[in-house]
Amino acid sequence: MKKITTIVLALTLALVVVASAACKPDNPTLDISQTESQSSAASSGERYTVKAAALRGPTGVSMLKLMEDSEKGATANPYEFSIYSDPTDVSAKIINGEFDVAALPTNLAAVLYQKTNKKIKIVALDTLGVLYLLENGEAVKSVADLKGKTVTMAVAGQGATPEFALKYILGQNGLDPEKDVTIEYRGEHSDVAALAVSGEVKICLLPEPNVTPVLSGNASARVALDITKEWKSAAEKTGSPQGELAMSCIVATQDFISAHNTEFDAFMAEYKASCEYVTSNPDDTAALAEKFTVIPKAAVAKKAIPNCNIVYIDGADMQARAAGYLEVLYGFAPASVGGELPDEQFYYKK
């Protein structure tokens, strides 16, 4: 069984969003706990310590203010945060019930919904699209201009959201992704970014925070297409519900929601406030991103965070956006969302 679980998780990672994997500092895991006195109180049963996980990169940005407030003891709940570079680590621990809440790629959340026998729920969207098409030059002004061109992306984007998003947009704009555009896969996000800075790659698809170093390092590089906007435009052409590139979300376990409802409600309020803070205070947030190793350098984070589309969307609006996004991915590869589209129980509505 352990071998089967390991294989399944390994295969799943080839199909999940990998934007957050761009930042991999030497320390793969960082635990951020409450003060000693609060931990003692929690262990004595006075307060329940909420165990939360996030991934480095845009997926974890929305939690930064909550992490900071927690460290200062300024939150209603005691929290214990863990930050990871590898989605496999988070997936395994969610399956084992080691976390109450987690910030994850939305399609990974759908996969884990099936793996946990529907014991987790998506409670909010926290990030829309973080993908951008960059060009060294001025040739690409619209999606139609990609005909006959080569687009480079990281190997991790193959069979995952970057590939599916690009192909969806191409198809909705009358281009055949298999014939009209050449898509090549080369190394990691950082490798593609380096090639774009050097000018070796002319057109590439990258997520933040890898976009910012390219724009800073190559005066000829520019954002040719905002993939979030192009996704929405493509969906509007057919009147479909897939209007948002809903790439990242917050999940909570059913056990946490049911057994600790007061703490769950407090988390939702504090998390919403964190989202609002990070979008309104980019300078402070950038410093926190470096402090908690979510994005390695504050200077990069300051420029990247405004392009990360941090949001707080819950309830019926969350369901409509997430369901539409997952439906598109399912059309390309059912395994990318867990083999089947999640049912109504996947979406938390108070």
For residue range 151-178, list pLDDT tens digits in order: 999 999 999 999 999 999 999 999 999 9
pLDDT over 50 at 25, yes or no? no
pLDDT over 70 at 22, yes or no? no
pLDDT over 80 at 270, yes or no? yes
As its CATH architecture, domain 131-238 has 3-Layer(aba) Sandwich (3.40)
Residue with tokens 């006195």: 37
How many Cβ atoms sit within 10 Å of the Cβ of residue 40? 11
Query: Is 3.90.550.10 the CATH number for 2-128+246-346?
Result: no
Residue 235: the pLDDT is 87
Range(s) for CATH 3.40.190.10 in the chain? 2-128+246-346, 131-238
Q: What is the mean pLDDT of residues 278-293?
A: 95
Mean pLDDT value across the chain:
88
Q: What is the mean pLDDT of residues 226-230?
A: 96
Say which residue, 307 or 4, is predicted with more confidence.
Answer: 307
Distance (Å, whole) CA 42 – CA 50 = 10
Distance (Å, whole) CA 267 – CA 100 = 10
pLDDT over 90 at 2, yes or no? no
The pairs formed by 253-261 with CB atoms below 8 angstroms and a separation of 24 or more are 253/94, 253/97, 253/99, 253/100, 253/101, 253/116, 253/119, 253/120, 253/121, 254/118, 254/119, 254/120, 254/121, 255/97, 255/119, 256/50, 256/100, 256/101, 257/121, 257/123, 257/348, 260/48, 260/50, 260/100
Give residue-wise pLDDT tens across range 71-122.
999 999 999 999 999 888 899 999 999 999 999 999 999 999 999 999 999 9
